[in-house]
A and B are shown apart, each in its own frame.
Chain A
Amino acid sequence: MKILMFTWEFPPLISGGMGMACYGMIKSLLKLGIEIDLVLPTKELIYFPLVKVEDVDLLPVVYLDPVRQKEFARMEFLTMQEKMEYMGMTVHPETYLQLAEIQKFQGLKYFFSEARSETVVEKVWQEVALHLMGDEDLFQKVQEFTYRAEKIAKSLNYDIIHCHDWLTYPAGMITKKISNKPLVVHIHATEFDRSGGAGDERIHKIEHAGMVYADRVIAVSKYTSQMIMSRYRIDTMKIRIIHNAYSIDDSVVFQRKRIFSGPTILFLGRITLQKGPDYFLDVAERVLQSHPEARFIMAGSGDMARKILRKSASMRLKNRFLFAGFLNRTQVEKILGASDIYMLPSVSEPFGIAPLEAMAYGVTAIISKQAGVAEVVNNAFKIDFWDIDRMTETLNYLLDNPDVCEEMGRKGKLEVHQIEWDAAASKINEVYTELVQ
């Protein structure tokens, strides 16, 4: 079976947990013998044909790393051989080369405005055509991505189309229209999750259109499936719940190395409304009153970073509430290895892979009851994100009883080892099989 997969994030082109989820998922799908042609928002018009498990780690980095990409664009190569070698490639599939020069976007209106006989479908196309018209950077990128999908859709062979989150839905829809192949849309987060409120109307419309036009909708948690049913009114027959997972990479050494002598509590994620950084700060202020030896670290970046920073200063948290900024993979591993407690007070979290990674380091996790990940783990504290009193109590208890904290971390570590992408991939494979029969 061959899948044409569209996603916006993939390591090292990552901005959140979705990239890591796609990575783990694809790796396990490849193990099942499924072939995947992966399309990413690269600068050049390319796709990545993945056949063997090792392929996931062999993506030519020049296309994905913005810094290397810039370098690459400036370089001149004498031979194709030289170019391939620079890209770090061992094989020479012709698809890695540019399929064509990227032209100005033209095709979208035509595709979306063409009349269809079914009224529901017609409405769906109107939704997308109308709402993809933004001129912000992101919308332009999505338009470009969609335009390319048309070219790719025509030139490849595949059995199923699989899309991750709204940015790739228009691309998936076009591909389905051209090829008549079944479409699976995967919901990692909806606009309601990201915005913590109403969000962007245009994005809702695109999400809705994608789900309506799709043959199957995969939700990463029960929490998300409820959202899809209640907010988007999607036919429940099409929805499948497949929890995300976390496969422990054998090459990673889970090294514990303290930075602070006192207990260290970590927030690691985008500093946006969705992740509840303000609840983390409020809890820190309260806990520091009885535990001044504790250190709170906020790692990540986001639109609320400045607000949280200024507020932490106004609370006079001294040098006990620190900002680590955006961390790369190695740095994330270091900070996890230096933490005792991980907190994820998300307001809305469809899944949330980060706590699993923290648990793999033996870090005790306190997660929001509203997170999808709470549906799959037992050895973590689950608290309503708004219940600052409860979170404060729990943290104080763990700081007063370090042995309890350590025990919880140990159990959590064991539990995470049981959660594997392979199981989730088999479920995805079942969805595929249903569709091609």
Chain B
Amino acid sequence: MLNFVFYFQVHQPYRLRHINVLDIGTGQDYFNDELNRMVMKKVAEKCYLPTNSLMLTLIKRFYPKFKISYSITGVAIEQFKKYTPEVLESFQALSETGCVEFLGETYFHSLAYLYDTNEFLDQVNMHRDLMKHEFNAETETFRNTELIYQDRLSDIIYEVEGFKTILTEGVDRIMKWRKPLYAYKNYTKTMNLLCKYYKMSDDIAFRFSNKGWEEFPLTVDKYVNWVNQLTLSEDKNRNLFLNLFMDYETFGEHQWAETGIFQFMEKLPEMVLALPHLGFIFPKEVSDYANYQQEALSIPDPISWADEQRDLSAWLENDMQKNAIETLYELFMKIKMKGDESLLRQARLLSTSDHFYYMCTKYFQDGDVHKYFSPYDSPDQAYIYFINALADLEERLS
């Protein structure tokens, strides 16, 4: 038996205004409300609303066999409320079907795990409360920002009540001969690990509309045929997990409606469920299906799902990124010592990983992806605005 494990990431950062040194101390908002509204409206229209409506239809049509999971950040939910409340309502409608699992993560989609364990736990708990409040959901599966994972993370998450499973990337240098199709355990064997099958995920998320790709166009027939072939290698009757993890914006935003991505998704469950040995499950159901001794994976250094390197280099490679994030977490300490809640909120909004992603200077293919996602002209500009915001924050503190 092979089960599809769909996890979709839903996130929108608060993008910064072009903050000049002369704006410091004027009490202006750090964030570009107009731009954030515009982006949210656009993505809601192109992706969130049509995709949610499609998912709802599919869930109802195949009830209760079609299951999916979402990780929705706190900053995304806030912006839904502010700019597109209908999107939040449509997610709530999905949650009521019982065929959706909500995952836990940091409220602010931050890199706090790497710099400040207490702040990290605060943000995880804030997000857990939010999921309970908005969707009446108890989170049991954790995904760290950008699927960043290492052994130490599992130790921390193990201590948080409720979490039993962590999602991460199926990085080649870790997996080696292993297949991401099996459920694994963390290095202490206390938590389940599900590793993204990046080839099959990226066929949908990145390559779907690439006319230069030899498999173009990707049909559901072809895709399900590949999945079938994956099951052939398993001769001991162990249950397999096809971990398809991707940005939710894949549907309609990264892959436009014209590419046929919606038709693809619409047809997929039907074709999958027509075959008796294929199905869909939630990430939290992994223990119920893992009918074998799960191998423990030791991952001492951080991995992630970003770029070719699948490490931290998208956010923490160059000096601008390092100076910016080190300064931010130093400020966190000062703000917490002073106990100023409104400044803490601002620091947290600045902790969103996207701010550091915009400062990335890697070139070649990945640079293009960074550029696609960045609202600024250059990494240097992104850095200047961010540092100016931190300078302002420090002035407010004193």
B360 proximal to A (CB < 8 A):
no
Q: Does A310 contact B (CB under 8 A)?
A: yes
| Neighbouring A residues of B395 by C-beta, 8 Å | 259-261
The chain A residue sitting closest to B23, CB to CB, is A259
Select which of A259, A306, A314, A324 is within 8 A of B25 by beta carbon.
A259
The stretch among B65-73, B91-99, B314-322 that forms the contact with chain A is B314-322
Q: Interface residues of A: mostly helix, strand, loop or mixed?
A: mixed
Q: How far is the CB of B351 from chain A (nearest CB, A)?
A: 15
Most buried by B among A261, A319, A327: A319
Residues on A with beta carbons closer than 8 Å to the beta carbon of B20: 324-325, 331
Residue of A whose beta carbon sits closest to that of B386:
A319
Structural contact, B394 and A319, CB atoms closer than 8 A: yes
Contact of B384 among A260, A323, A331, A334 (CB under 8 A): A323
User: Would you give the shortest CB distance from B20 to chain A, in whole angstroms?
Assistant: 6
A318 adjacent to B323 (CB under 8 Å):
yes
* Cβ–Cβ < 8 Å partners of A363 in chain B: none
Q: Which residue on A lies nearest to B378, using beta carbons?
A: A306
B380 within 8 A of partner (CB) = yes
Contact indicator per residue, chain B 55-82, by CB within 8 Å of chain A (1) or not (0): 0000000000000000000000000000
Whether A313 contacts B383 by the Cβ 8 Å rule is yes
Q: B202 near A: Cβ within 8 Å?
A: no
Contacting pair B383 A318 (CB below 8 A): no
**A335/B322 in contact, CB under 8 A:** no
Instruction: Indicate with 1 or 0, residue by residue over A258-300, a CB within 8 angstroms of chain B CB atoms.
Output: 1111000000000000000000000000000000000101010
For window 1-60 of B, CB contacts with A under 8 Å fall at 20-22, 24-25
B21–A335 touching, CB < 8 Å:
yes
Whether A314 lies near B391 (C-beta < 8 A) is no
The answer to whether A322 touches B21 (Cβ under 8 A) is yes
Check if B330 is an interface residue, CB within 8 A of chain A: yes
Contact B22 A306 (CB under 8 A): no
Given contacts A261-B395, A261-B398, A322-B21, contact A306 B322 (CB under 8 A): no
Closest CB of chain B to A267's CB: distance in Å? 12
Residues A322 and B319 in contact in the complex (CB < 8 Å), given A261-B398, A297-B21? no
B391 with A309: CB separation less than 8 A = no
Assess the A316–B22 pair: CB atoms within 8 A: no
* Interface SS of B by simple majority: helix
Which one of A313, A317, A334 lies within 8 Å of B318 (CB-CB)? A313
Interface size class of A (residues with CB under 8 A): 20 to 34
Residues of B within 8 A of A297 (CB): 21
> B22's contact among A309, A313, A335, by CB below 8 Å, is which?
A335
B361 and chain A: residue at smallest CB distance: A310
Residue among B25, B322, B324, B391 facing the most chain A CB atoms (10 A cut-off): B391
- Which of A297, A312, A318, A334 has most chain B Cβ within 10 Å? A318
Which of B319, B322, B324, B383 has its CB near the most chain A CB atoms (within 10 A)? B319
- A322 with B380: CB separation less than 8 A: no
Q: Pick the contact of A313 from B24, B25, B323, B330 — CB < 8 Å?
A: B323
- B:285-335 near A, CB below 8 Å: 318-320, 322-324, 326-327, 330
Q: Give the A-B contact count at a CB cut-off of 8 A.
A: 70
Which chain B residues lie closer than 8 Å to A261 at the CB level? 395, 398
The answer to whether B21 and A309 have CB atoms under 8 Å apart is no
Contacts of A322 in B (CB 8 A): 21, 384, 387-388, 391
Q: Find out whether the CB atom of B22 lies under 8 angstroms from the CB atom of A319.
A: no
B307 to A: closest C-beta gap in Å = 20
Bound Cα distance A59, B387 (Å): 40
Instruction: For B331, give the chain A residue with the smallest CB separation.
Output: A319
**Cβ–Cβ < 8 Å partners of B319 in chain A:** 310, 313-314, 316
Q: Number of B interface residues at 8 Å Cβ cutoff, please give it.
A: 24
A1 CB, min distance to chain B CBs, angstroms: 44
B390 at the interface (CB under 8 A from A): yes
Contact A331 B383 (CB under 8 A): no
Contact check, B380 vs A309: say whether CB atoms are below 8 A apart: yes
Bound CA span A314–B21, Å: 20
Contact of A260 among B24, B322, B327 (CB under 8 A): B24
* B22 near A334: Cβ-Cβ < 8 Å: yes
Are B320 and A313 in touch, CB under 8 angstroms? Answer: yes
Q: Which residues of B contact A334 (CB under 8 A)?
A: 22
> Do B320 and A259 touch (CB < 8 A)?
no
Given A309-B383, A323-B384, A325-B384, also A318-B21 (CB < 8 A): no
Query: Which chain B residues lie closer than 8 Å to A260 at the CB level?
Result: 24-25, 391, 395
Given contacts A295-B391, A309-B384, A322-B387, contact A316 B323 (CB under 8 A): yes
Q: Which of A309, A316, A319, A327 contacts B390 (CB 8 A)?
A: A319
- Tell me if B394 and A306 are in contact (CB < 8 A): no
Chain A stretch 36-82: residues in CB contact (< 8 A) with chain B: none
A381 to B150, CA, bound (A): 55
> A310 touching B22 by the CB < 8 A rule?
no
Residue of B nearest to A299 (CB): B21
Interface set, chain A 311-358, CB cutoff 8 A to B: 312-314, 316-320, 322-325, 327, 331, 334-335
User: When each residue 109-133 of chain A gets 1 if its CB lies under 8 Å from chain B and 0 otherwise, what string results?
Assistant: 0000000000000000000000000
* Nearest A residue to B330, CB-CB: A318
Distance in angstroms from A318 CB to nearest chain B CB is 4
Beyond A309-B383, A324-B22, is A318–B398 a contact (Cβ under 8 Å)?
A: no
Per the bound structure, the CA–CA distance linking A320 and B391 in Å amounts to: 7
List chain B residues, Cβ under 8 A from A317: 323
- List B contacts of A324 (CB < 8 A): 20-22
Q: Within the assembled complex, what's the spacing in Å between the Cα atoms of A13 and B358?
A: 34
User: 0/1 per residue, B368-398, Cβ < 8 Å to A?
Assistant: 0000000000001001100110110011001
Residues of chain B with a CB closer than 8 A to A320's CB: 391
CA distance A193 to B384 in the complex (A): 29
Q: Mark A171-206, 1 if CB is under 8 A from B, else 0.
A: 000000000000000000000000000000000000
Within 8 A of B (CB), among A244-260: 258-260
**CB of B333, distance to nearest CB on chain A (Å):** 13
Contact between chains at A319 and B387 (CB < 8 Å)? yes
> Known contacts A261-B395, A319-B327; is A313 also within 8 Å of B21 by CB?
no
Q: Determine the distance from Cα of A310 to Cα of B319 in the docked complex, in whole angstroms.
A: 7
Please measure, in the bound complex, the distance between the C-alpha atom of A335 and the C-alpha atom of B25, giving whole angstroms: 13
Q: Do residues B320 and A310 form an inter-chain contact, with CB atoms below 8 A? A: yes
Hey, which chain A residues are within 8 Å of B330, CB to CB? 318
- CA of A390 to CA of B359 in the docked complex: distance in angstroms? 35
Query: Cβ of A323: which chain B residues have Cβ within 8 Å of it?
Result: 21, 384, 387
How far is the CB of B279 from the nearest CB of chain A, in Å?
50
Residue numbers of B with Cβ under 8 A of A are 20-22, 24-25, 318-320, 322-324, 326-327, 330, 380, 383-384, 387-388, 390-391, 394-395, 398
12 contacts between A and B (CB under 8 A): A259-B22, A260-B24, A260-B25, A309-B383, A316-B319, A316-B326, A319-B327, A319-B388, A322-B388, A322-B391, A323-B384, A325-B20
The 6 closest A-B pairs by CB, nearest first: A313-B319, A314-B319, A324-B21, A319-B390, A319-B391, A313-B323
- For the complex with contacts A260-B25, A322-B387, A325-B384, 19 further pairs of A-B residues with Cβ separation under 8 Å are A260-B24, A261-B395, A297-B21, A299-B21, A309-B380, A309-B383, A310-B319, A310-B380, A312-B323, A313-B319, A313-B322, A313-B323, A316-B323, A322-B391, A323-B384, A327-B22, A331-B20, A335-B21, A335-B22
